[in-house]
Amino acid sequence: MVQDVLKELKTSLHDALYLDLDDLGLETQGSEVISKFIGVQLKSAFQPILDSKRNEPLGYEALLRPAIGPEALTPQFAFDFADKQGRLVKLDRVARTLHTLNYLQLPESHRGLLFLNVHPKLLATVNAHGKVFERVLHNHSIPTRQVVIEIQENTVDIDKHLSEAVSNYRDRSYLVAIDGFGGKRSTLDRLWRLSPDYIKIDGSIIRDAESNPKVRKILSKLIEIVQELGAQAIVQGIETEAQQHIAIDAGANLLQGFHIGRPESAASRLTSEITHATKAAA
């Protein structure tokens, strides 16, 4: 099935955009799509974002898992390496395609939203290589409104670039999430102008809140501010049951972190969801 998906996509991209899918180094490994690009093996991992009110995932954040042989690398290392070779745009294209194809391995009823990170240097390129990504989505009947473009707020120094990028994504009906709210460089004025759909609260806050009552009050206030902005707050970095209770008590419905669910491949993710559903029904 996965091989058939790759064949169909290869034909579609070649006919519509004259793009050779072989350039992306995509291949199948069991039920998983992987890539071998610039000498690095790339895989996808998906971490759930839990809607605690419904007790089911709102969606999944797709995370890149690079490696050279048995040695795991950080995504930052892979993107820095590609940048030095002048292949940053192509690596981003590989990552988006890889994540989308693996996301399709989840049953449609379990998918929810797909959260994708965007490298700060590529925020302005949605009108260019973004067309390739949209062709991948179109081929598999995934509307752009099912994709959340996740932007790390504190990595963009020029407000104009950030605002233009968000506007471009909105024009194409993507949802937008701002990551790292509550960090040292966060500004409310910037968030008011961007009006994102989701705001991820910096993981350091929930860690500090577990031992500091004052930070718990700050967390509650931050969530209130996010709601006043017309967005939904996602408390990330939740690693303990106590932190989960603190986040919910502070008014958060959307939760992410190792205690909620660790990043896993789509195949492992599916097994986890089936096991969870079986236990719940027992």
Tell me what pLDDT residue 261 has.
94
Q: Cα separation of 221 and 225, whole Å?
A: 6
Q: Tell me the C-alpha distance between 234 and 181, whole Å.
A: 10
23-281: CATH superfamily: EAL domain (3.20.20.450)
Residue 192 has a pLDDT of: 80
pLDDT confidence of residue 93? 84
% of the chain at pLDDT higher than 90: 47
Q: What is the tens place of the pLDDT at every residue in 44-102?
A: 999 999 999 999 999 999 999 999 989 999 999 999 999 999 988 888 888 988 898 89
What is the three-class DSSP state of 33?
strand
- Which DSSP category does 47 fall into? E
pLDDT at 62: 96
Give per-residue pLDDT as tens, 123-153: 755 555 467 778 778 877 889 999 999 988 6
Residue 271: pLDDT band by 50, 70, 90 thresholds?
Answer: low
Q: Are 224 and 201 in contact (CB under 8 A)?
A: no
Separation between Cα atoms, residue 52 and residue 35, nearest integer Å? 34
What are the boundaries of each domain within the chain?
23-281
> In the chain, what is the straight-line distance between the N-terminal and C-terminal CA atoms, in Å?
31
Helix (H), strand (E) at residue 56: strand 56-68
